[in-house]
Each structure stands twice: as C-alpha cells, then as structure tokens.
C-alpha cells in the first residue's frame, strides 16, 4: 500500500475529531486517505514483549493499509503489565508510528473489563474489592457440607464464602414455576415458613483477575486510583503525543455483574441521593438504588 499520507500533525486538533470533514470534498484524500480515515485494529500484546518484533509488526500494519493500531494487553502477556519493559515497548511503538504517520491508540486495562489495572488497584487498596449479595436458605455455619467456597469462581457465577456481613432475613414464597409469589422482611425475633437470609460478601478471587477480584466500579476512590495507575502513567510516558500520534485511550466494559453487587457504595449513594440506605424489601428502595447508579454514571 505504500506510505500513509501525512496528517499535518502540527495543527492542534486531535485527528479523531476529523477536522478535514469540515473542508470541501478532496478527491485525492478520498483515494489516499490519511491515518484517521483508515482501519486501526486491536494489536494484541499476548506474549513476551520483543521490541524489534513489535516494530516489524507496525511495518506490516502499514503495508496492509492500516492507519494505526490499538495496543491491547491480552491473555498470554509474559511481560509485567505497565512494567518497565511494557512501557519501553510502548514508547518505541509510538515513536515508530509517528515516523510512519500512523496513530497509536491505547487501551487502559490488562485484558478486560477496565477498572482494576491488572490487579494493581486491589494490591495497593484491597478495600476497593467488589462485593455481591448472597441470598441463601442457610445461615452462615448451617450450609450443607461441601457448599462453602465451591462453584466456578467467575464474576458471574454464585459462590458462597461465608466471609461477609449479615443484612436481613425474609420469609419468601415461590410459585410452582419458581417465580416470586410473596415475601416479607422478618424482624430479628420473627420466624417464617420459608426463610432466606441476605448477606453481602466480597467477590471471590479469580485467575482471570490475576488471582484477585474486580473492583467496586461505583467507588470513586477506586476509579481515581485506577486512572492514576493507568491513564496518568501513560501520560508520563507518551503524554507529549496525546491528541496527535496518541489520539485516544480506549476503555472497555466497566462491569456490572450478573450478581447483585456493589453494596457498600450503592448504600452510601442511595443514602446521599434519597435520604435512606438500600431498602431491598420495597419497590421504592429498588428504584432509588437504580436512580443512584444512573446519576453516579
């Protein structure tokens, strides 16, 4: 495909704001588009990083007609995420892309979802660990043998750790099809026919999260620390090219889990916004909880 035409990086406009779109149609630009109008695929960094090999791959991307890349840490990365070798290869890749009039878009996580910085956030601040609700017919200490600590330890599967805090108990009636027919929150001295107990537990460690867990994404301090460890680290390394050769940082699926989670932050947000904490026994409480998420977002 040959060299990519220059994008006049001397001007101050980020190329991904497409400043040329405000100009009259240019047939030459249409036939020989500059980098921002070309493809920019994920560039998987998924083995032991070799700077020479990476720079050769940029040559290949250019010959394929690509306008740039999105550097993406993937499963298999055998160099420390955000470590010295990683940053050395990042700087070299940005410089090589600049020479070729290509773009180097960044990605802000080790695999996905964005928010935990490959485990750095929780290593330094374990209090930001994600939480979830456990609704169970068995109180702590009364579960059948073999059910504590079992299950697929993913972000969406149920796991009982018995490491959490008790919230409340409910008398719950289900239909013959397993749907909710009625429920009542029990006072401490009350009993019921079909009693279920609500706990809040820390999410279990997972290999996917480098043997830790995901973070509480509604916790402002957690996300501020995530930004400090990733976005601000990228700024220190290649910030001089932000808005030009490095036009963007991609973020991927900050995660709301299939579990009913994030209790500690949600309880605080619901109280600040509506004058009470989470009230799972009322429809108004559930609505206020949802509104708290929306307005926090």
**What is the set of domains in the chain, with CATH numbers?**
15-116+218-250 (3.30.750), 131-205 (no CATH), 257-297 (no CATH)
Whole-angstrom distance, CA of residue 130 vs CA of residue 221? 13
**206 pLDDT more than 90:** no
How confident is the model over 275-293, as pLDDT tens digits?
455 555 555 555 444 444 4
Per-chain mean pLDDT for the chain: 84
Q: Give the span between the Cα atoms of 39 and 7, in whole angstroms.
A: 15
CA distance 39 to 42: 10
Per-residue pLDDT at 270:
47
Closest CA to 263 of 132, 163, 115, 122: 132
Tell me the β-bridge partners of 68. Answer: 103
Nearest-5° angle of CA 81, CA 229, CA 89?
A: 40
CA 213 to chain centre: 12
Question: Residue 84, exposed/middle/buried by CB under 10 A (0-12, 13-18, 19+)?
Answer: exposed
Quickly list DSSP for 216-231: -TT-HHHHHHHHHHTH
Q: What is the pLDDT of residues 59-95, one digit of tens each?
A: 999 999 999 999 999 999 999 999 999 999 999 999 9
Q: How far apart are CA 200 and CA 165, in angstroms?
A: 5
Beta strands 42-45; 165-174: pairing state: unpaired
Task: Render pLDDT for 136-158 as a digit per residue (tens, 0 to 9).
Answer: 899 999 888 877 765 555 555 66
Contact by Cβ (8 Å): 16, 70: no
Distance CA 116, CA 155 (A): 13
DSSP letter at 168 equals: E
Give the C-alpha separation, 205 to 212, whole Å.
Answer: 4
- Give the C-alpha separation, 77 to 44, whole Å: 9
* pTM score, whole prediction: 0.79
How do strand 103-107 and strand 249-250 relate by DSSP bridges?
A: parallel
User: Which residues are registered as beta bridge partners of 184?
Assistant: 171
């Amino acid at each position: 495909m040959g060299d990519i035409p220059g994008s006049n990086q001397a001007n101050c406009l980020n190329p991904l704001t497409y400043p040329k779109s405000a100009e009259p149609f240019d047939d030459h630009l249409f036939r020989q588009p500059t980098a921002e109008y070309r493809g920019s695929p994920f560039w998987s960094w998924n083995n032991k990083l070799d700077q020479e090999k990476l720079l050769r791959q940029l040559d290949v991307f250019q010959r394929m007609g690509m306008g740039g890349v999105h550097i993406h840490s993937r499963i298999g990365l055998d160099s420390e995420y955000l470590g010295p070798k990683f940053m050395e290869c990042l700087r070299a890749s940005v410089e090589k892309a600049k020479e070729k009039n290509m773009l180097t878009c960044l990605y802000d996580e080790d695999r996905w979802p964005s928010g935990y910085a490959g485990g750095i956030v929780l290593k330094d601040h374990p209090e930001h660990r994600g939480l979830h609700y456990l609704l169970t017919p068995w109180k702590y200490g009364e579960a059948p043998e073999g059910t504590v600590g079992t299950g697929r330890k993913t972000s969406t599967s149920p796991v009982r750790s018995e490491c959490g805090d008790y919230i409340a108990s409910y008398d719950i009636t289900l239909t013959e099809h397993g749907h909710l027919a009625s429920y009542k929150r029990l006072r401490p001295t009350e009993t019921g026919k079909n009693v279920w107990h609500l706990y809040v537990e820390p999410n279990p460690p997972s290999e996917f999260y480098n043997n830790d867990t995901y973070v509480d994404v509604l916790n402002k301090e957690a996300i501020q620390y995530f930004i400090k460890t990733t976005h601000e680290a990228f700024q220190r390394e290649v910030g001089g090219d932000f808005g030009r050769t490095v036009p963007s940082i991609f973020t991927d699926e900050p995660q709301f889990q299939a579990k009913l989670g994030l209790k500690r932050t949600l309880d605080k947000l619901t109280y600040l916004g509506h004058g009470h904490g989470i009230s799972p026994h009322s429809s108004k409480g559930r609505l206020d909880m949802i509104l708290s998420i929306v307005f926090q977002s």
